[in-house]
Amino acid sequence: MSVRRKGRFVGRFILALAAFSAVFPFLWTALNAFKNRVDIVTPTPLFFFTPTLDNFAYVLGRGSVFQGLTNSLVISGSAVAIGAILGLPAAYALARYPGKWAKDIQFFVLSLRFLPPVAVAIPLMVIWLELGLYDTRLSMIVTYTLLTLATVIWLSVPAFQRVPREVEEAARVDGYGPYAIFFRIALPIASRSLIGAIAFSFVLVWNEFLIALMLTTSDAKTLPIVASELTQLGRDVPWGILNASVVLLSIPPLLLIGILSGMLNSAFRRKN
């Protein structure tokens, strides 16, 4: 009995420690974003201080950050929209018309993820340079569509497979054609999981770094690149501003966490 109790105590202690380690580092960064430089550069960490909004005001007032933010929103948003418009129908076709090619196609889509990003970025850099499209939003949208389209397809196939076949059969009996069944039956029923798939592909390109680093130099720089440039500043580092820009970069993905954990839940629901 007492062994069991001791085990439970230790187990819960480890869980508490893990939970603390999961959230504390980012919370600490968020806290530092509201500090003046003198309160960050202290020999002992400060938990109580006079908060300031100067860091955020500076970050949001900087042209480069604002440009990075709009670039990120336009590029990620467009790539995700194209990925969803083309990817959802493709995923439905793979889920509902499993011909002999379906497995190979699915493997092809998955295998795109095996490509090392640097192996895609180097040749694309040369291609965009030669086409005169280097460092433009258009080239970034096209490049990121490779990521969003593959991800949307890959994650949506199981979502469509979970739509009960009987519902689609009933609609067919009622005289719906194959396209009407997709738009008016399958799409609405699977919508919750599909939104999760789309949100995931957004987070993926919003967070993407290596390709953006190699394919942009000034005009089309995305927010992760701008933020990383701030983190490489020289000796007299403006720590507060750095923390604020990291927080700003992290807000959009964190806003989607509810949708993403909902997608996880429906993917692993007990099968019976």
Partner 1 sequence: MKHKSTLPAVFLSPALLILAVLALVPTVFAVFISFQDRELSRPDGRFVGLDNYLALFSDRRFVNAIGVSLTWEVLTVGLTLLVALLIGILMFEYAGPRWRSALSLMFLTPVILPRVSAAFVWKFAFHPLYGIITWPYKAITGQPLDLLSDPATALGTVALVDIWQWGLFFAVIVLKLLETLPPQPFEAARLDHARTWQVYAYVAIPMLKAPLISLAFVKMVESLRAFDLIYVMTRGGPGITTETLDMYAFSQGFIESGRISYASGMAVLMMIATSIVFTVIWKRTRA
Residues 243-272 that bind partner 1 (CB under 8 A): 243, 246, 249-250, 253-254, 256-257, 260-261, 264-265, 268, 270-271
Task: Out of 2, 5, 21, 132, point to the residue binding partner 1 (CB under 8 A).
Answer: 21
Instruction: Give the angle subtended at the CA of 256 by the CAs of 252 and 261, to the nearest 5°.
Output: 150
Comparing CB distances to partner 1, the nearer of 127 and 189 is: 127
Task: Out of 227, 240, 241, 244, point to the residue binding partner 1 (CB under 8 A).
Answer: 227
Tokens 């793979």 sit on residue:
94
Name the residue among 180, 188, 201, 179 with its Cα closest to residue 160.
188
Task: Out of 65, 75, 94, 244, point to the residue binding partner 1 (CB under 8 A).
Answer: 94
Name the residue among 10, 8, 85, 59 with its Cα closest to residue 238.
59
Q: Among 55-63, 124-132, 158-166, 186-194, which window interacts with partner 1 (CB under 8 A)?
A: 124-132
Q: How far is the CB of 54 from partner 1 (least distance, A)?
A: 18
Q: Work out whether 188 is an interface residue with partner 1 (CB under 8 A).
A: no
Q: How far is the CB of 150 from partner 1 (least distance, A)?
A: 6
176 contact partners, CB below 8 Å, separation of at least 6: 184, 185
The C-alpha R_g of the chain, in whole angstroms, comes to 23
Q: Work out whether 38 is an interface residue with partner 1 (CB under 8 A).
A: no
Q: Among 56-64, 131-139, 159-167, 221-229, which window interacts with partner 1 (CB under 8 A)?
A: 221-229
Task: Out of 38, 97, 131, 138, point to the residue binding partner 1 (CB under 8 A).
Answer: 97
Contact yes or no for 35/46 (Cβ under 8 A): yes
In angstroms, the CA 211 to CA 230 distance is 18
229 contact partners, CB below 8 Å, separation of at least 6: 64
Comparing CB distances to partner 1, the nearer of 53 and 264 is: 264
Q: Work out whether 184 is an interface residue with partner 1 (CB under 8 A).
A: no
Identify residues 142-181 at the interface with partner 1 (CB under 8 A): 142-143, 145-146, 149-150, 153, 178-179
Q: How far is the CB of 152 from partner 1 (least distance, A)?
A: 9
Count of C-beta atoms within a 10 Å radius of residue 36: 15
Q: How far is the CB of 176 from partner 1 (least distance, A)?
A: 12
Comparing CB distances to partner 1, the nearer of 42 and 191 is: 42
Q: Among 16-24, 51-59, 132-140, 184-192, which window interacts with partner 1 (CB under 8 A)?
A: 16-24
Contact yes or no for 141/75 (Cβ under 8 A): yes
Q: How far is the CB of 228 from partner 1 (least distance, A)?
A: 5
